[in-house]
Amino acid sequence: MLNNIGLPGLLLIAVVVLVLFGRGKISSLMGEVGKGITAFKKGVKDGTEELENQVAEEAKDVTPAEEKDKA
């Protein structure tokens, strides 16, 4: 259904949204979307670094499990 819209339909939708909400509201909304994308990217980066650090910590400990229990 949505694959039949085409460029003229998208332009019409954009014009209707611009008329309904105004340029100021749309620009502030896009600013919020940009902040959300930035926060998402930062969260993904932090999560990846956390996993890498966890794997690095596990790789450092090469003591066999039997010897860990003795200590």
Q: Residue 35 above 80 pLDDT? A: yes
Rounded CA-CA distance 55/50 in Å is: 9
Q: Which position has the higher pLDDT, 14 or 39? A: 39
Q: pTM score > 0.85 for this model?
A: no
Q: Residue 12 above 60 pLDDT? A: yes
Rounded CA-CA distance 32/43 in Å is: 16
pLDDT at 2: 60
For residue 12, give Cα distances in angstroms to 8, 23, 59.
6, 16, 57
User: By mean pLDDT, which of 29-33, 58-62, 65-69 is the weakest?
Assistant: 65-69
